[in-house]
Structure 1
């Protein structure tokens, strides 16, 4: 169990604490929101950190290839579900974002069965960053930043769609060749 994998596991362990502080007192206590924001930011930072350490020191493992993207999806999707439950985010946006994650995961699974690795794309990375910024803005829920928050909701939604189309266009042969 190397350091990047430990950071990934730490991120997964942090998720229930993030959700707990988001939902305590109906999400109305600013102190709990700040704690949730700190947990989310630290968890997001571990995503960046574990990937950089793994690549720099040649510590890329099959466990990390599988668990790192899963941990990211769990973190972001947990936040999205909290935001919907707290009335901060429309359900259709959450459904769109989570559906995209399932579709891409399915593509990667089929590709893996065919011996093909689908790497994260530029659009996928931008999508992740925009979702994390959107999430922090929604967690903090600062009235003066509500316009910026709305802009990031739309940016994250648009990048979700763009990255989905990009993955499908670049990798559609994985599905067609896999069915032959």
Structure 2
């Protein structure tokens, strides 16, 4: 759904017409199906190491494409997009580096980060300015600021957990 979302958001230069609403709907469906997939896997005991790695990557592709497109359209500062993307790519690489010591599943903080990022992106995607005027931007920017803070804090937490995971594995080889 990511390529469709990008195309729809880019159509009409991101203006607030039909294609913008279709992009919002596509983003919503993609986020919902991702959550549904996770809920089904947990409820049926189908959680796999592959899923623990693949699901966060799929999340990052959708979130990352939305952030990049919002920045390309001039609706979101590039520094916000870069901070979030550097954290996301860095943690994904870190997970692969430490995978020989164990799998780092998404933490509660990481899930909260995804929820706040998703909400912030929805607020930026929705053409709310027609109804809320300048308040739309302030609300969106405030939620995005919270997303950036949680993104950085949880990124640091993952680094600490990776160091601890590696340390435990090296102290207890063969377990």
> Is 1:92 the counterpart of 2:79 in the alignment?
yes
Equivalent residue, structure 1, for 2:66: 79
Aligned length: 166
SS of match in other structure, 1:89: coil
Counterpart CA distance in 2 for 1:66 and 1:168 is 16
Larger radius of gyration: 2
Following the alignment from structure 1 to structure 2, what is the Cα–Cα distance between the partners of residues 104 and 86?
A: 27
Q: 1:106 to 1:175 in 2, by over 3 A?
A: farther
Flag as ranges the 4+ runs of structure 1 deviating above 4 A.
174-180
How many angstroms apart in 1 are the aligned matches of 2:90 and 2:146? 20
**Correspondence for 2:98:** 111
Give the counterpart of 2:112 among 116, 122, 126.
126
Partner of 1:138: 124
How far, CA to CA, are the matches of 1:38 and 1:89 in structure 2? 20
Q: Distance in 1 between matches of 2:128 and 2:145?
A: 18
Normalising to structure 1: TM-score of the pair? 0.85
Aligned counterpart, 2:163 = 172
Q: Structure 2: which 5+ runs fail to align?
A: none
Indicate if the aligned counterparts of 2:49 and 2:103 stay in contact, CA closer than 8 A.
Answer: no
Q: TM-score, normalised by structure 2?
A: 0.87
